[in-house]
């Protein structure tokens, strides 16, 4: 079986050892990248998409190691159109507690914690030391950069990007803190109130960025 990790840049190179550690016997992991990349990256073959499809054998799966949620969504559709399935990647020391549901294609990096009663959509990225606490709902193609602190009763809608070290204040049952679709939470931001769709917030407390 051939496993393709889409993206040979920094994040992909961090994820590859995690994918390699969970491979079944006689399986190979390769990078997929359509940019100007060498034929081998960190000892693994690096193939363009068409070369990945044209390789021998019929069993293959892809994991999307691209931080931009919109790009991940486009690549997911490309894979679906080619009838290519998805695999998830999970570090050995990830902690997952009670009643946690995760969609296909997730990447859970080392020291990630998911506590209880959590719903997570497709192609979620949780980078190192991030956590999601109780009663949270995370949409599709959401990215958590390293050390994101997502406290309980938070809703993060599709395609949101949460920057390194950001803190999302705990919501309340029936009144969750909501990060809107496509919103961006800047590095180190402390979010104390809802973020509208498509808005970028920064600072402590987090405030919307305004155009010049």
Residue range 87-101, pLDDT digits in tens: 999 999 999 999 999
Q: Phi first, then psi: what are they for 102, rounded to 5°?
A: -130, 130
What is the mean predicted confidence (pLDDT) over 45-53? 95
Split at pLDDT 50, 70, 90, the class of 210 is: confident
**pLDDT, tens digit, 9 for 90 and up, residues 64-86:** 999 999 999 999 999 999 999 99
44, 123, 134, 159: the catalytic one is 134
Per the structure, how many domains does the chain have? 2
* Chosen domain end from 87, 112, 131: 87
Radius of gyration of the chain (CA): 18
What confidence score (pLDDT) does residue 212 get?
44
The C-alpha atoms of residue 163 and residue 181 are separated, in whole angstroms, by 15
77 and 162 share one domain: no
114 and 169 share one domain: yes
What confidence score (pLDDT) does residue 55 get?
75
* Chosen domain end from 61, 87, 113: 87
What is the mean predicted confidence (pLDDT) over 18-27? 92
Strands of the sheet containing 154-156, edge to edge, are: 100-102, 118-120, 137-138, 154-156, 177-179
114 and 163 share one domain: yes
Which domain does 16 fall in, by range? 2-87
CA angle, 145 then 106 then 171, to 5°: 60
Six-digit token string for 123: 């192609």
Is the pLDDT reported for residue 57 higher than 70? no
CA distances to 12, 32, 37, 66 from 46, rounded to whole Å, are: 11, 6, 7, 15
Instruction: Determine, yes or no, domain membership for 82.
Output: yes
55 and 124 share one domain: no
Is the pLDDT reported for residue 11 higher than 60? yes
CB 41 within 8 A of CB 15: no
182 and 78 share one domain: no
57 and 109 share one domain: no
What confidence score (pLDDT) does residue 18 get?
97
Q: Within 31-68, where are the H helices?
A: 49-54
Instruction: Determine, yes or no, domain membership for 99.
Output: yes
**pLDDT, tens digit, 9 for 90 and up, residues 100-158:** 999 999 999 999 999 999 999 999 999 999 999 999 999 999 999 999 999 999 999 99
124 and 187 share one domain: yes
119 and 176 share one domain: yes
First to last CA, the chain: 52
What confidence score (pLDDT) does residue 17 get?
97
Instruction: Determine, yes or no, domain membership for 212.
Output: no
139 and 159 share one domain: yes
Split at pLDDT 50, 70, 90, the class of 211 is: low
What confidence score (pLDDT) does residue 25 get?
86
Instruction: Determine, yes or no, domain membership for 144.
Output: yes
142 and 44 share one domain: no
Six-digit token string for 172: 């309340």
Residue 44 annotated as catalytic: no
Rounded to the nearest angstrom, the gap between the alpha carbon of residue 187 and the centroid of all alpha carbons in its chain is 16
**pLDDT, tens digit, 9 for 90 and up, residues 179-205:** 999 999 999 999 999 999 999 999 999
Of the candidates 123, 119, 212, which has an alpha carbon nearest to the alpha carbon of residue 161? Answer: 123
* Chosen domain end from 26, 58, 87: 87
77 and 11 share one domain: yes
What is the mean predicted confidence (pLDDT) over 172-179? 96
CATH number at residue 14: 3.40.50.20
Of the candidates 63, 59, 31, which has an alpha carbon nearest to the alpha carbon of residue 45? Answer: 31
CATH number at residue 173: 2.160.10.10
Q: Within 22-68, where are the H helices?
A: 49-54
55 and 101 share one domain: no
């Amino acid at each position: 079986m051939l496993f393709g990790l889409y993206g040979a840049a920094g994040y992909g190179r961090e994820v590859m050892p995690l994918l390699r550690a969970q491979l079944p016997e006689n399986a190979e992991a390769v990078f997929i990248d359509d940019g100007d990349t060498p034929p081998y990256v960190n000892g693994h073959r690096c193939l363009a998409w068409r070369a990945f499809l044209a390789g021998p054998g019929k069993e293959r799966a892809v994991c999307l190691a691209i931080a931009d949620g919109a790009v991940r969504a486009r690549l997911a559709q490309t894979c679906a159109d080619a009838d290519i399935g998805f695999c998830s990647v999970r570090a050995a020391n990830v902690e997952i507690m009670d009643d946690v549901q995760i969609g296909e294609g997730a990447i859970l990096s080392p020291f990630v914690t998911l506590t209880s009663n959590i719903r997570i959509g497709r192609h979620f990225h949780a980078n190192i030391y991030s956590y999601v606490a109780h009663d949270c709902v995370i949409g599709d193609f959401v990215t958590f950069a390293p050390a994101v602190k997502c406290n309980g009763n938070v809703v993060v809608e599709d395609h949101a990007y949460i920057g390194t070290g950001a803190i999302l204040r705990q919501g309340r049952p029936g009144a969750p803190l909501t990060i809107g679709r496509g919103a961006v939470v800047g590095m180190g931001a402390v979010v104390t109130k809802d973020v509208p769709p498509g808005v970028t917030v920064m600072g402590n407390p987090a405030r919307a960025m305004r155009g010049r």
